Structure 1
Amino acid sequence: MSQAYPAPPNLRDGKLEAALRVLELSVRRRLDGLLQGNHIGLVPGPGSEPGEARPYQPGDDVRRMDWAVTARTTEPHIRQTEADRELETWVVVDLSASLDFGTAGCEKRDLAVAATAAVAHLTRGGGNRIGALVATGERTVRVPARGGLMHARGLIRRVAETPRAPEGTRGDLAAAIEQLRRPPRRRGLAVVVSDFLGNGSPPGTELDWERPLRALSVRHDLLAVEVLDPRDLELPEVGTVVLADPETGRQREVETTPLLCREFAAAAAEHRERVAAALRRCGAGHLVLRTDRDWIADVVRFAVTRKRQWSDPSGTRPINGGRPAVIR
């Protein structure tokens, strides 16, 4: 039976160039024109760069008061802000061993590459630049931020061609995010693509990647793309199976009883909520992509929702109290 949703092309069948071309055409066909305007980005907003001062009007945010101009003119003035016309985007792509897995239309690794392609397309143009840090746990590949279609294609190819980490190699998302934070870069958009599975911290404590991500949010807008497979969330009752942790190499044979399946689903749901809560505390937009869903449709819904948040007639604040929209 054919699947009812378009999956990312297979990037492991020996025809990488053809697969990347299919991916580009799919992304451009369904995402073109999604974010029209002078300031293109997945997290649009009023901007943070200082602009001109103007007289204060009732309803203006007093936190934007320009006290120097107010003192000089003896009349209240506020400082307007402008959005950068050249956006610099950095993508942290987690390709640790836990993403070399998939039970639906593709592997999570393929979906991470597809998400990178979508971000590259949506932020390209108008002098914008995009760079990437690709982390496998064994190595980190850095692609400098540049503009242009050829660079975007080359970046996606570099991500897709990144060698898989050997089995038993533990990923380190926190270290990859920290590498993006140091040295400091110009303000822009930071995107983290990961399954956020290996947290390395016990329940009830802060996730190991939360602190560097929160520090990154001080200077950049954040977008977290969570890549999931159905087997990350639930186990089927199929009898005896061997469960393997690709980042440690440990294996365990278990009987998938109804009790075990319920406990697994509960633990998975608790971890997902823990990840979502941590991303909210960091102020990150949260986009969930799954290998068993139409990932491009999820990207479209997320981007449209974010755009509508900044279409408030008052033009001063997003809807929903500024909380990130989650597309599940």
Structure 2
Amino acid sequence: MAGKGLSVLGKLRRPGGYPAGGDTIGIPMDNQRAELVLGRLQLLITRKLDGLLQGDYLGLLPGPGSEAGESREYRPGDDVRRMDWPVTARTTMPHVRQTTADRELETWLAVDLSASLDFGTARCLKRDLALAAAAAVSHLTVRGGNRIGAVVGTATAVTRLPARPGRKDAQGLLRTIAHTAPQPGRGNLGDLIDALNRPPRRRGQAVVISDFMAPVDEWSRPLRKLGVRHDLLAVEVVDPRELELPDVGVMVFTDPETGRTHEVQTADPVLRAKYAHAAAAQRAEIASALRGAGAAHLRLRTDSDWLIDIVRFVAAQRHARTRGTVR
């Protein structure tokens, strides 16, 4: 059952939500409605995440920090890169160096708004889900003097929004993302990610929000380069029709990036099986490339409650990554 998160996003384009049958492509963004939904979105995120993610320092990726702290004995699962070799040599027991969590963080978003995200067959478009992910990252990072900036990519341009502190500037950033007009054509995800690599920035957090439908070779190298310097999170936005086809007879598919159409007989079980197999292989390749870049991987679907998915992801990250961190 769709939760409140989907209910809010489902009203982003028009008062009555989306028409039956998932025909959502090309629905324009109403500015007044976008402002209303952004306000509801912020309230919903605040209530949900503040209520469940308590701690001294909240964040979507609570990294170990960079300031050296005390040492303690090694435990299975600890990062071997934090081994304290001088203490290990003196005590003859493996020790790891604890670190103090950073209190000021600079977060950069790379938000892919290419035409392939103007698609959705459930309660929202993938584009709307990307906005929700950006809002959640903003809420969990903009506090205590933290700064957040973004690069927003369409088929024709990459817009850079400078990193600034404070909720007011964060809301302005989300407003710009929400009002970015859809552009026909295919964007370059690799160039968008590279916009975070140049010019070099202080170490911080980088979040890439996309459906990653572009060829993996196009974006995997820039993403690996980004992961070397920053704490990296990849938010993959998925629609269920990209994973499997329903048995509904003849369907006409339109590529949102090229405009080409193609009729498909979905009643053919062999075709549906081949489609599901190819889709699974594609998603496995994407997941492998994200792991290779050292990115934490969060998958959001247009047919599930994105708020619950984010809460589970953050809770798991906090449990796995804060071991040995001095707060």
TM-score if structure 2 supplies the norm length? 0.83
1:219-259: CA deviation from partner (whole Å, max 9, x where unpaired): 10111111111111111121111122111222212212111
Written as runs of structure 1 = structure 2, the 5 A alignment for 1:224-235 is: 224-235=234-245
> What is the CA-CA distance between 1:180 and the residue it aligns to?
0.6
Task: Tell me what 1:267 maps to.
Answer: 278
Task: Tell me what 2:292 maps to.
Answer: 281
Query: 1:211 & 1:303 partners in 2: Cα distance?
Result: 26
Task: Tell me what 2:3 maps to.
Answer: 5
Query: 1:248 & 1:62 partners in 2: Cα distance?
Result: 46
Q: Which has the higher contact order (CA 8 A, sep 6+)?
A: 2
In the alignment, structure 1 residue 82 sits paired with structure 2 residue 139: no
Task: Tell me what 1:299 maps to.
Answer: 310
Aligned-residue RMSD, C-alpha: 2.3
Report % sequence identity.
56
TM-score if structure 1 supplies the norm length? 0.83
Q: SS at 2:152's partner residue?
A: strand
Query: 1:286 & 1:311 partners in 2: Cα distance?
Result: 17
Taking a change above 3 Å as real, the CA distance of residues 253 and 148 of structure 1, as seen in their structure-2 partners, is: same
Query: 2:132 & 2:97 partners in 1: Cα distance?
Result: 40
Written as runs of structure 1 = structure 2, the 5 A alignment for 1:1-328 is: 4-6=2-4, 7=6, 8-9=8-9, 10-13=11-14, 14=30, 15-49=33-67, 51=68, 59=74, 65=84, 81-166=99-184, 169-199=185-215, 207-256=217-266, 257-312=268-323, 315=324
Taking a change above 3 Å as real, the CA distance of residues 115 and 62 of structure 1, as seen in their structure-2 partners, is: closer
Name the structure with the higher helix share: 2
> What is the CA-CA distance between 1:78 and the residue it aligns to?
8.8
> What is the CA-CA distance between 1:63 and the residue it aligns to?
5.8
Equivalent residues of 2:73, 2:96 under 8 A apart: no
Task: Indicate the larger mover: 254-263 or 300-309.
Answer: 254-263
Q: SS at 1:224's partner residue?
A: strand
Query: 1:259 & 1:271 partners in 2: Cα distance?
Result: 18
Query: 2:317 & 2:107 partners in 1: Cα distance?
Result: 17
> What is the CA-CA distance between 1:83 and the residue it aligns to?
2.6
> What is the CA-CA distance between 1:66 and the residue it aligns to?
8.4
1:155-213: CA deviation from partner (whole Å, max 9, x where unpaired): 111100001012xx1121110000111111111110011111122xxxxxx53211000
Query: 2:103 & 2:210 partners in 1: Cα distance?
Result: 28
Query: 2:274 & 2:190 partners in 1: Cα distance?
Result: 28
Taking a change above 3 Å as real, the CA distance of residues 111 and 64 of structure 1, as seen in their structure-2 partners, is: same
Query: 2:81 & 2:255 partners in 1: Cα distance?
Result: 53
Equivalent residues of 1:41, 1:87 under 8 A apart: no
Equivalent residues of 1:38, 1:85 under 8 A apart: no
Query: 2:179 & 2:273 partners in 1: Cα distance?
Result: 38
Amino acid at match of 1:170: R
> What is the CA-CA distance between 1:46 and the residue it aligns to?
2.2
**Number of positions where the alignment pairs a residue of Structure 1 with one of Structure 2:** 293
Query: 1:300 & 1:63 partners in 2: Cα distance?
Result: 28
Taking a change above 3 Å as real, the CA distance of residues 300 and 80 of structure 1, as seen in their structure-2 partners, is: closer
Equivalent residues of 1:189, 1:221 under 8 A apart: yes
Equivalent residues of 1:66, 1:79 under 8 A apart: no
